[in-house]
């Protein structure tokens, strides 16, 4: 078996694939030889070279079905779905409206499910296909100010395992639990270079991920190199987050040492 990561001849649909992490994923898939179609709710001026873009709100099941049908009509098949579209603004869970929570769960959980259902129908007919769900480390830890988002991502991780069991052997389904990643919005979100540097100092690998590094994990899962990987959650988080008690313990030890 060749160890080359080759996606030539495969058609991939990446939701939210022209900005942030999604843009890095799309670029890597194009570089690996895939035909890449992306979608979002709005037009995009700067499309990833080698990709095509369509409009679609993934929270609308009818629009999702129409999108998948259009991709298949144009390219003859659909081999890879990357459920990347998602996100949420920071909000106090105690005061956020029911409508706000509904929209966050719709975008981050129900949208991926609708896309997966539409893609699976095609892939089952083909006899093969791969679905990669972009999840978050927030799915497995407390996530104040993004509680609904974190709960939805926990649902995505659970959904991944269930769909992998239901839809195999024709379709493989995996999730990538992404940690902190540098995008065009990183400085705005975290408050500038000094704050970002302080946050990066807590990551075992010493920095946030680049979108293309997440894309490389996705490309691996989409390729034949991962032919026996299904129902998995792959952490792409630079080694994780150190427990707070370790920091507090070191701080206390240092203070005690100085006093002595």
Catalytic residues: 149
* Alpha helices by DSSP H, 18-171: 20-31, 61-75, 98-105, 111-126, 147-167
Is the peptide bond preceding residue 169 cis, with omega within 30 degrees of 0?
yes
Q: Give dist(CA 94, CA 84) in Å, integer.
A: 27
Please enumerate in sequence order all residues whose Cβ is within 8 A of that of 28, keeping only pairs 6 or more positions apart, or say none.
212, 215, 216, 218, 219
Residue 192 CA, distance from chain mean position: 24
- Looking at residue 47, the DSSP 8-state letter turns out to be P
Distances (CA, A) of 42 to 6, 18, 64, 133, 218: 31, 11, 15, 21, 24
Q: Are strands 129-136 and 171-178 parallel, antiparallel or unpaired?
A: parallel
Q: What is the DSSP string of 241-260?
A: ---HHHHHHHHHHHHHHHH-
């Amino acid at each position: 078996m060749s160890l080359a990561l080759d996606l030539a001849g495969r058609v991939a649909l990446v939701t939210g694939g022209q900005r942030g992490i999604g843009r890095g994923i799309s670029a890597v898939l194009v570089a690996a030889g895939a035909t890449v179609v992306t979608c979002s709710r709005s037009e995009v001026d700067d499309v990833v070279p080698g990709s095509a873009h369509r409009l679609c709100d993934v929270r609308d099941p009818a629009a999702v079905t129409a999108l998948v049908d259009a991709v298949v009509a144009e390219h003859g098949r659909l081999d890879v779905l990357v459920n990347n579209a998602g996100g949420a603004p920071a909000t106090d869970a105690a005061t956020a409206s029911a409508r706000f929570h509904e929209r966050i769960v719709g975008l981050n959980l129900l949208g991926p499910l609708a896309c997966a259902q539409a893609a699976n129908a095609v892939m089952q007919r083909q006899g093969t296909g791969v679905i990669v769900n972009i999840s978050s480390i927030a799915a497995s830890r407390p996530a104040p100010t993004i509680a609904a988002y974190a709960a939805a991502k926990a649902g995505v991780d659970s959904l991944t395992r269930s769909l992998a069991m239901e839809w195999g052997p024709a379709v493989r389904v995996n999730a990538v639990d992404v940690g902190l990643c540098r995008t065009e919005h990183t400085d705005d979100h975290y408050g500038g270079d000094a704050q970002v540097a302080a946050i990066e100092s807590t990551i075992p690998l010493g920095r946030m991920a680049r979108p293309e590094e997440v894309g490389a994990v996705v490309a691996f899962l989409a390729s034949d190199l991962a032919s026996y990987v299904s129902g998995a959650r792959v952490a792409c988080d630079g080694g994780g987050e150190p427990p707070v008690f370790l920091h507090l313990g070191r701080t206390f030890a240092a203070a005690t040492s100085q006093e002595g």
